[in-house]
Amino acid sequence: MSRVGFIGLGIMGGPMAQHLQAGGHKLYLHDLKNPPFALVEGGATVCTSAAEVAVRADIIIVMVPDTPDVEEALFGKEGVAKGLRPNTIVVDMSSISPIETKKFAKKINALQCEYLDAPVSGGEVGAKAASLTIMVGGSEEAFAIVKPLFELMGKNITLVGGNGDGQTTKVANQIIVALNIQAVAEALLFASKAGADPARVRQALMGGFANSRILEVHGERMVKRTFNPGFRIALHQKDLNLALQGAKAMGISLPNTAMAQELMNACSAHGLSGMDHSALCRAIEIISNHQIAEA
């Protein structure tokens, strides 16, 4: 049994922490809101600050929305760094800037502690099913220690390289996901406008080379008009912004990523930023004056 700190218990973090608790680990929790009651009822300890989590835990997991949130959790007035003991492992499972991640890792390493960046893919469904893909950057030694915890939360777990490489892989993942959502939306819109049943078109395509998890899961959302968030448009906007900032810094062009970001910006302009990222189809529907399916 490990003493595990968990900071950030939202849509993703809550279910992930529950899997760790079910695996027999003692949890120390901190969140801006009250942690899920099930975790507390199961024996988790609620801490008043991230610093208190660091004092009490040997492995600390951070799962918060954005780069500034991670920085605050780690280095704020009552952040993790204030309570760290040597040889503690800090694991950031948020999706944030690879550049800032490398800076955070150096600061944590200077406190004689290990740092892993381990962002995830799979959304709320994957968090609840413990089937997340976990992309890790850091030392092999720290990875070996934390891997049993990762295995309680995910299925496809890869040590990609050094600090920052996990976050770089996640940005690449988000580029692919966004462009696939855009492709599925355009295909189903085309089929619908042409008079075909988009539900049947989707079913037919799932048996061919065009099949994908995006077509399977998000294509169904587009047809059934179920855009309750598993992964919000606002968060995917953040991830694509990281991609475009990185592209600018490296002097490369990501034209289709920029298009996907603009479509998400259009969704946000129409008040849809809190909806699931599959609702990117709404921007294309608005431009085309046609919906894939009726609500």
Tell how strand 132-137 and strand 120-121 pair up: antiparallel
Which residues are designated catalytic? 170
Predicted pLDDT at 147: 98
Predicted pLDDT at 88: 98
Predicted pLDDT at 34: 86
Burial of 217 (0-12, 13-18, 19+ CB in 10 A): middle
Predicted pLDDT at 295: 78
Compute how many other C-beta atoms are within 10 angstroms of the C-beta atom of residue 137: 27
Chain Cα centroid distance, residue 102: 18
- SS3 of 14, please? helix
Report the 3 state secondary structure along 227-254.
CCCCCEHHHHHHHHHHHHHHHHHHCCCC
In whole angstroms, how far apart are CA 286 and each of 131, 155, 282, 293?
34, 38, 6, 13
Give residue 168's identity as a one-letter amino acid code.
T
Of 42, 35, 38, residue with least CA distance to 6: 35
Quote the CA–CA distance of 159 and 241 in Å, as a whole number. Answer: 24
Element (H, E) at 87: none
Quote the CA–CA distance of 104 and 74 in Å, as a whole number. Answer: 8
The pTM assigned to this predicted structure is: 0.92
Compute how many other C-beta atoms are within 10 angstroms of the C-beta atom of residue 97: 23
Instruction: For the chain of 295 residues, list the mean pLDDT of each consecutive stretch of 10.
Output: 94 96 97 91 96 98 96 98 97 96 98 98 93 98 98 98 98 97 98 98 97 96 95 95 95 98 98 97 98 92
Element (H, E) at 115: strand 114-117
Contact 277, 236 (CB under 8 A): yes
Predicted pLDDT at 207: 94
Predicted pLDDT at 123: 87
